[in-house]
Chain A
Amino acid sequence: MSHYPRYKKYRPRVYSKRMPIFWWVRKWPHARFILRELTSVFVAFYAIVLLLHVRSLAAGPEAYANFMAWLQTPVALALHTVALVMVLYHSITWFSLAPKAMVLRVGRTRIPGWAIAGANFAAWGLFSLILAWIVLTV
């Protein structure tokens, strides 16, 4: 695995044009693709924030108060605002692609893509309500 060739086996080693690093900034669909892939960074960001949240709870009331105070700093609020936009983009692109990953049939008719995507969006709304209810009624 560590010996990964720079040239493909079946392509002659004569001339292969290197793509510029920022090949994806000039066209909107390309930028949108990279943006969608980068939503994963914010998914990881929030996973780590959740871990820190739980750790502060485990460490006692003082640590919890400190964590809650950190959440109110401008840096934390700015990070969370950007992260919210990105995780919403993750959810929307993820559920929109669901029909491509799931092909469901009833008898011999295939369930149309819009119905599968719609069901995913509806489930998203339902899960969000349930989680909000749990968080808000503790």
Chain B
Amino acid sequence: MATHKGKTNEPFWWALFGAGGVLAAFCIPVLLFLNGLAIPLGWIEPPRYEDALALVQHPLTRLFLFGLISLSMFHWAHRFRFTLYDGLQIKHLNFLVALMCYGSAVVVSILTAVVLFQL
């Protein structure tokens, strides 16, 4: 929201958007293809429960998953917010839309941290 009143917190949200965009662009296609299509369709043997659990319990995997999930959500929040403004012409709902978008990203990040911490 570029107002003429000087400072905004835009660069902060943009940095999260950019970081999420990069991480998602590098990592999501391959993970989605393997976990969401290749394994369910039987093209690849699914990992055993114990092995999959051991993988996500590794501290580096937890850190990676937290970064990927959280930043992907902030990427969505920022981009979707402006899509709502541009696509649906609802710029007057500025505060409500921003709260809904960034709020969802914060909530999912907290849930992710809780799940990963309890693993």
Residues of A within 8 A of B (CB): 1-2, 4, 6, 9, 18-19, 21, 24, 34, 37-38, 40-41, 43-44, 46-51, 53-55, 57-58, 61, 64-65, 68, 71-72, 76-77, 80-81, 83-84, 87-88, 90-91, 94-95, 101, 123-124, 127-128, 131-132, 134-136, 138
A84 near B83 (CB under 8 angstroms)?
Answer: no
B28 near A124 (CB under 8 angstroms)?
Answer: no
CB-contact partner of B26 in A37, A65, A77, A124, under 8 A = A124
Complex interface bits, B46-89 against A, C-beta within 8 A gives 1, otherwise 0: 11010111111000000001001100110110011011001111
CB-contact partner of A71 in B40, B51, B82, B95, under 8 A = B40
- The secondary-structure label for the interface of chain A is helix
Q: Number of contacting residues on B, CB 8 A?
A: 59
B24 near A90 (CB under 8 angstroms)?
Answer: yes
Residues of B within 8 A of A (CB): 1, 4, 18, 20-22, 24-37, 39-41, 44, 46-47, 49, 51-56, 65, 68-69, 72-73, 75-76, 79-80, 82-83, 86-89, 91-92, 94-95, 108, 111-112, 115-116, 118-119
12 extra interface residue pairs, beta carbon distance < 8 Å, beyond A54-B115, A123-B26: A43-B24, A44-B76, A46-B32, A54-B56, A54-B119, A57-B52, A80-B32, A87-B24, A87-B32, A101-B18, A136-B44, A138-B54
Residues of A within 8 Å of B86, CB to CB, are: 34, 37
B87 near A127 (CB under 8 angstroms)?
Answer: no
B4 near A9 (CB under 8 angstroms)?
Answer: yes
Residue of B nearest to A45 (CB): B76
B89 near A18 (CB under 8 angstroms)?
Answer: yes
Q: How far is the CB of A117 from chain B (nearest CB, A)?
A: 12
Residues of B within 8 Å of A68, CB to CB, are: 39-40, 46
A40 near B52 (CB under 8 angstroms)?
Answer: no
11 contacting pairs across A/B (C-beta < 8 A): A2-B95, A37-B79, A40-B75, A47-B76, A50-B31, A76-B36, A87-B24, A91-B25, A128-B30, A135-B47, A138-B51
Q: How far is the CB of B101 from chain A (nearest CB, A)?
A: 10
